[in-house]
């Protein structure tokens, strides 16, 4: 279930975000190559659950498969599973714009893709956005608004979002052989 995990505080989540930024900067400085920073989009206070662990593993696997299919050279990867949510880093020897296009394909086409959060960071430390490649902002899971608008306004209850995510996860893992 999406709520079977350790609850985290806003302070812990903000600290984790800050630590991710530090990690990203270190990896880019070390390798001087584009970086994919991967987390899972899960609302609420429980970020590390059995379901989010499954989503995370699928996202990592899907990215590795996409890199292999496209002939992109993975230089380095690492992952962590803190209570504030799973996170992985992939340093890839390819063009950052192409890398973002690959991750957008996963986010837009994979059955769990809406729950994947792939950030692509260029060698100069700047993120490549969806808009940079002509895509619109992500839509909310429950309506047609931009997800960030619904998220900031609190338009939907966390329980509604978690129920929808659980439905997506259940449907996906039911069909995997």
CATH of the domain at 60: 3.30.70.260
Is 23 within a domain? yes
The CA distance from 19 to 13, in Å, is 10
Domain containing residue 65: 10-136
Could you write out the DSSP letters of every residue in 119-177? EEE-TTSPEEPTGGGTPPPPBPSSSSSBHHHHHHHT-S-HHHHHHHHHHHHHHHHHH--
Is 175 within a domain? no
Is 150 within a domain? no
Is 160 within a domain? no
Summarised one tens digit per residue, pLDDT across range 19-53 is 999 999 999 999 999 999 999 998 888 889 888 99
Quickly state the pLDDT bin for 177 (edges 50, 70, 90).
low
Is 109 within a domain? yes
Summarised one tens digit per residue, pLDDT across range 49-99 is 888 999 999 999 999 999 999 999 999 999 999 989 999 999 999 999 999
What's the pTM value of the predicted model, to 2 decimals? 0.91
Contact 9, 84 (CB under 8 A): no
Total tally of structural domains belonging to the chain: 1
């Amino acid at each position: 279930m999406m709520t079977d995990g350790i609850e985290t505080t806003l302070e812990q989540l903000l600290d984790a975000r800050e630590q991710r930024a530090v990690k990203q900067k270190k990896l880019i400085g070390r390798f001087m190559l584009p970086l994919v920073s991967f987390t899972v989009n899960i609302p609420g206070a429980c970020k590390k659950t059995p379901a989010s662990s499954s989503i995370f593993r699928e996202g990592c696997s899907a990215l590795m498969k996409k890199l292999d299919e496209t002939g992109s050279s993975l230089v380095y990867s690492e992952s962590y599973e803190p209570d504030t949510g799973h996170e992985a880093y992939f340093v890839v020897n390819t063009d950052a714009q192409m890398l973002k296009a690959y991750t957008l394909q996963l986010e837009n086409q994979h059955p769990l893709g809406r729950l994947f959060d792939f950030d692509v960071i260029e060698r100069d430390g700047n993120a490549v956005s969806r808009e940079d490649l002509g895509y619109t902002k992500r839509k909310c899971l429950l309506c047609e608004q931009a997800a960030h608008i619904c998220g900031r306004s609190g338009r939907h209850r966390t329980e509604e979002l978690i129920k929808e995510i659980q439905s997506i996860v259940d449907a996906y893992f039911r069909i995997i052989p």
